[in-house]
Amino acid sequence: MKQSLQQYETRREVAVIWDDLQMGFQCCGVVGRDDWSPSRLPVSCCHIDYGTISPFQCTVFNVYTTGCAAQLGEWLAYNAFAMGVIGAFTTSLQILITAAAAWLAYRSRFEEVELES
């Protein structure tokens, strides 16, 4: 994550991902706001009140203090059970479909043998 943070200003796709992550999880940087220099805090790192008129400046007074690694870890821990249930359901469904396909293949072959007799 820290390597991609260094590419924030040079690669647009990296900036978009970081902006989405920071706004969505209300976090700043990997570990915290100190990952950014105070003079170049991105706007996505700051809490913007509704109705704020531009130009908006992101400063140490309105910046999110929690790092995105911690926020992402909390989100994954909170949703781990749901992801496990979805994974187990998907795997079970694939097994059932494979078994049904094998049974249909067996039945069609069995019927071909009966027709030839």
For residues 94 and 46, give the distance between their C-alpha atoms in angstroms, rounded to a whole number: 44
3-state secondary structure of 72: helix
CATH of the domain at 53: 1.10.1450.10
Question: In the structure, what pLDDT confidence band is assigned to residue 113 with cuts at 50, 70 and 90?
Answer: low
The domain total for the chain is: 1
Domain that holds residue 96: 2-116
| The model scores a pTM over 0.95 | no
The helix-helix angle for 12-25 and 68-116 (nearest 10°) equals 100
Residue 104: partners with Cβ closer than 8 Å, 6 or more residues away: none
Residue 85: what pLDDT?
96
pLDDT tens sequence across 46-98: 988 777 777 777 877 889 999 999 999 999 999 999 999 999 999 999 999 99
